[in-house]
């Protein structure tokens, strides 16, 4: 039976590491600052932003909450982002998604200066990842890479299968696995015989949003299984994209839902904010990679 890859415990360790970096920054007179932008009053988004702001406070970082009303315009939000881009005490900018559908979400995100793009979602950040340059990476894939590292698995030469191809998770995690020299297969809603592809995987990352789509008997013995999905069942339970109990029978390591990838995302946002403060406004060079 596979070991549980405990995202809560790993996230605590990441937070402790970030706390030490905050102390080192304080010695240089720098307090990392995260600006959060929450448009309207969606209750779930309010909870997410609240946990990010609390995370900052717990580590001695500043957060600056901005709460434009639901009827704010795209140009007002772009102007707010530009004002935050210019502020020296703001090192990271987080625009909580989704924005109300009256707004041009892409225009708002793309207005974020790449050096402050702690969610890693601008074209500049994604392009830097694609071309093997250093830069701020999206938080959920960063968290997944940290979880895989915790297993001790050497990714070089392994076959990693990513199910889902969103800009938020699937595409960036595939590129990050590639950076670590895995052979990566990307699957999506049009993939033929998904079961056969997943059966060849040493590492499976499921980021689909369909309850238990990845069946336990698709998992190769000894695989590392990372379940990003968050799905609510009819009886109100949270389940992932992987059939957990059956998959655990075969896997070497598997993330639970909840308590796997989820807690890592906020921890990596805090890590990115510290990294942005360390690097400053001129360079986006955080980490680099090989392409050979």
Judged by CB under 6 A, which stretch of 27-35, 55-63, 68-76, 165-173 contacts ligand NAD?
165-173
* List 112, 173, 208, 268, residue binding ligand NAD (CB under 6 A): 208
Of 8, 71, 76, 119, the catalytic one is 119
* List 33, 164, 172, 216, residue binding ligand NAD (CB under 6 A): 164
Residue 133 CB burial class (10 angstroms; 0-12, 13-18, ≥19):
middle
- Whether the CB-CB separation of 114 and 262 falls below 8 Å is answered with no
For residue 27, the SS3 value is helix
Q: Does 261 bind ligand NAD (CB under 6 A)?
A: yes
x-marked contacts with ligand NAD along 121-150 as a string, rule CB under 6 A: -------------------x----------
Which of residues 7 and 135 has its CB atom nearest to ligand NAD in the complex? Answer: 7
Of 52, 171, 202, 241, the catalytic one is 52
Site for ligand NAD in 77-96 (CB under 6 A): none
Which of residues 145 and 194 has its CB atom nearest to ligand NAD in the complex? Answer: 194
CB of 239 to ligand NAD, least distance (A): 10
Judged by CB under 6 A, which stretch of 11-19, 29-37, 145-153, 259-267 contacts ligand NAD?
259-267
Q: Does 270 bind ligand NAD (CB under 6 A)?
A: no
Q: What is the DSSP string of 81-95?
A: HHHHHH-TT--EEEE
- Whether the CB-CB separation of 146 and 264 falls below 8 Å is answered with yes
Which of residues 15 and 210 has its CB atom nearest to ligand NAD in the complex? Answer: 210
Q: Does 56 bind ligand NAD (CB under 6 A)?
A: no
- What gap in Å lies between CA 206 and CA 161, rounded to an integer? 8
Judged by CB under 6 A, which stretch of 42-50, 92-100, 101-109, 206-214 contacts ligand NAD?
206-214
- Whether the CB-CB separation of 275 and 245 falls below 8 Å is answered with no
Of 96, 116, 202, 227, the catalytic one is 96
Q: Does 228 bind ligand NAD (CB under 6 A)?
A: yes
- What gap in Å lies between CA 49 and CA 53, rounded to an integer? 6
Which tokens hold the place of 28? 């240089």
Size of the site for ligand NAD (CB under 6 A): 25
* List 35, 144, 169, 274, residue binding ligand NAD (CB under 6 A): 169
Which of residues 140 and 180 has its CB atom nearest to ligand NAD in the complex? Answer: 140
CA-based diameter of the chain, in Å? 56
Q: At what angle do helices 43-58 and 261-279 cross, to 10 degrees?
A: 50
Ordered strands of the 159-163 beta sheet: 3-4, 253-254, 224-227, 203-206, 159-163, 183-187
**Catalytic residue check, 116:** no
Give the start-end residues of each E strand in the chain: 3-4, 33-37, 62-66, 92-95, 159-163, 183-187, 203-206, 224-227, 231-232, 238-239, 253-254
* List 92, 170, 172, 216, residue binding ligand NAD (CB under 6 A): 170
First to last CA, the chain: 37
- Active site residues per annotation: 52, 96, 119
Binding site for ligand NAD (CB under 6 A): 140, 163-166, 168-170, 187-189, 191, 194, 207-210, 213, 228-231, 261-262, 265
């Amino acid at each position: 039976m596979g070991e549980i890859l405990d995202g809560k415990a790993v996230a605590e360790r990441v937070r402790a590491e970030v706390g030490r970096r905050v102390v080192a920054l304080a010695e240089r007179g720098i307090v990392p600052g995260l600006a959060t932008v929450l448009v309207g009053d969606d209750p779930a988004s309010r909870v997410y932003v609240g946990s990010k702001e609390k995370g900052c406070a717990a580590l001695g970082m500043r957060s600056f909450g901005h709460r434009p009303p639901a009827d704010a315009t795209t140009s007002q939000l772009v102007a707010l982002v530009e004002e935050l881009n210019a502020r020296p005490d703001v090192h990271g900018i987080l625009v909580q998604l989704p924005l109300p559908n009256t707004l041009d979400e892409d225009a708002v995100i793309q207005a974020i200066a790449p050096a402050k793009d702690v969610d890693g979602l601008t074209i500049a950040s994604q392009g830097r990842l694609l071309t093997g340059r250093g830069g701020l990476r999206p938080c959920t894939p960063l968290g997944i890479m940290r979880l895989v590292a915790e297993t001790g698995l050497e990714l070089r030469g392994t076959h990693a299968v990513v199910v889902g191809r969103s800009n938020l998770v699937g595409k960036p995690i595939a590129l990050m696995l590639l950076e670590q020299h895995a052979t990566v297969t990307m699957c999506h809603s049009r993939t033929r015989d998904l079961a056969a592809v997943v059966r060849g995987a040493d590492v499976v990352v499921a980021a689909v949003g369909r309850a238990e789509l990845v069946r336990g008997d698709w998992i190769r013995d000894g695989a590392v299984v990372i379940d990003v999905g968050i799905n609510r069942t009819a009886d109100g339970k949270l389940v992932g994209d992987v059939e957990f109990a059956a998959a655990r029978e075969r896997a070497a390591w598997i993330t639970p839902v909840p308590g796997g990838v989820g807690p890592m995302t906020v921890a990596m946002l805090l890590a990115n904010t510290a990294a942005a403060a360390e690097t400053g406004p001129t360079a986006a060079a955080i980490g680099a990679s090989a392409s050979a």
